[in-house]
Structure 1
């Protein structure tokens, strides 16, 4: 089985289309999995949602999908979530809220956004000096405990950082990076940034062998018209998003 893995589109339909075009050029996949955070961001939330609904991909719910799906907005709502919420239909918001926290894609292959039991806590990351870095192995093992011991492959997103980690005696963790948001600044204590370091749209491909175990991984970075995305963010009054979209960094 050949599995394409996309995550953290964040309303960037230009990046999503570039990834889908690149995947087709590589012969496609047996299944494409969406790891959530589909529309939140000052870009094209409704267009992205329409594209994804037409594709009808197996999709898990991200923390921003849950937040966008709220019936009402208040002062605690993050600007990117509010921007998307205001542009989606009620039916589209309901569809986001109905997404599952986890999905079993194939025997022993589990997909979720952040952790198997939480959509907003990091799985393979720790915060050190305001940056996301790989967490200690013991911490990752502890966070994986809710999973069935038979799990062989974990597909996750949330951090926007490409990761491939084989847990000794446990599953392989694969994070493809972010399709549409190459860097972000989170002021939730402890404040931190995540930076992919380039404006490319990221996704991944996993091949399972005849025994069902992962046998090959590809981490792919695709060029697209990130300048158009940056200008869209500027028009929405979000210069920090424009900076991230142009460079993959929060600051020069």
Structure 2
């Protein structure tokens, strides 16, 4: 059994198509799961949503999926969410809001965007000197308390940082990294950045063996026309996005 794991597409249709093509060349997957944050960003939100709706993948709701669907008169809406909201149909926004917070992909394999009980708080990360780093094991354990003890594999995104962590006596946590947004800054206190360090589109593959036990985890980085994506961000008035798409880092 092969599970392809997609996360944090953020409206980057070019990156998504490159990942889907790479997956096809690798023989495909039995199940492809989408971990949310589908369209938010100054790129191709409506086109990305249309592609995802045609694929009809098992999908969980990300924090930006929820925010894109919020009241359009809310003045606190973040620019990337507003850009996407203005380009989606009402039915598409409703579809994002209706996505589940968690999803059991297979027995013992649970998917969610950030944490099992929250779509916007980090699971495996802490903030140190304005950057995301791996959180202490004790903190990760606490954040998984609401999870069924029978869960053996956790699939999550949100941080845009590829991670593979085996919790002693607990599940394996796998975050494939972000398909469409290789770096971002967040001014929510404490302000911080996340940087993948290259412009590649990231996704993952999990191979299960006997009794659903994980045999292999693969974090994959795929090259694509990130320059075209950067130009699209520039046309939308988001030079910091363009820099992130070109480099995998936020501007100094």
Q: Distance in 2 between matches of 1:90 and 1:70?
A: 11
Equivalence for 2:15: 15
Indicate if the aligned counterparts of 1:73 and 1:82 stay in contact, CA closer than 8 A. no
The CA RMSD measured in Å over matched residues stands at 0.6
Q: Partner residue of 1:133?
A: 133
CA–CA distance in structure 2, aligned partners of residues 73 and 116 of structure 1? 29
Residue of structure 1 in register with 2:147 after alignment: 147
Q: Which residue of 2 aligns with 1:101?
A: 101
C-alpha separation between the residues in 1 aligned to 2:211 and 2:251?
45
Gapped runs of 5+ residues in structure 2?
none
For residue 53 of structure 1, report the CA deviation from its aligned partner: 0.1
2:208 maps to 1:208? yes
> How far apart are residue 185 of structure 1 and its match?
0.5
Q: 210-219 or 35-44, which moves further after superposition? A: 210-219
- CA distance in structure 2 between the partners assigned to 1:89 and 1:99 by the alignment: 16
**How far apart, in 2, do the equivalents of 1:33 and 1:3 lie?**
7
1:244 alignment partner, SS class: helix
* 1:32 and 2:29 correspond: no
Cα distance in structure 1, aligned partners of 2:9 and 2:73: 22
Which residue of the partner structure matches residue 166 of structure 1? Answer: 166
**What is the TM-score of this pair, normalised by structure 1?**
0.99
Quote how far apart the aligned CAs of 1:72 are.
1.9
Q: 1:71, CA displacement in angstroms?
A: 3.4
- Equivalent residue number for residue 113 of structure 2: 113
Q: Does 1:192 align with 2:192?
A: yes
2 CA distance for matches of 1:97 and 1:191? Answer: 26
Report the Cα distance in structure 2 between the residues aligned to 1:183 and 1:74, rounded to whole angstroms. 26
Aligned length: 252
Segments of structure 1 that go 5 or more residues without pairing to the other structure are none
Q: Tell me the residue number matched to 1:81.
A: 81
SS class of match (2:23): helix
Tell me the secondary structure at the aligned position of residue 178 of structure 1: coil
Q: Structure 1: which 4+ aligned runs deviate by more than 3 Å?
A: none
Distance 2:155 2:81 in 1: 24
Instruction: Using the TM superposition, give the Cα deviation of residue 175 of structure 1 relative to its aligned residue in structure 2, in angstroms.
Output: 0.0
TM-score, normalised via structure 2 length: 0.99
User: What are the Cα deviations for residues 49-74 of structure 1, in whole angstroms up to 9, with x where unaligned?
Assistant: 00000000000000000000113232
CA distance in 2, matches of 1:90, 1:53: 14
Instruction: Measure, in 2, the Cα distance between the counterparts of 1:115 and 1:150.
Output: 17
8 Å Cα contact 1:109-1:153 kept in structure 2: yes
Partner residue, 1:44 = 44
Q: What is the Cα deviation at residue 148 of structure 1? A: 0.3
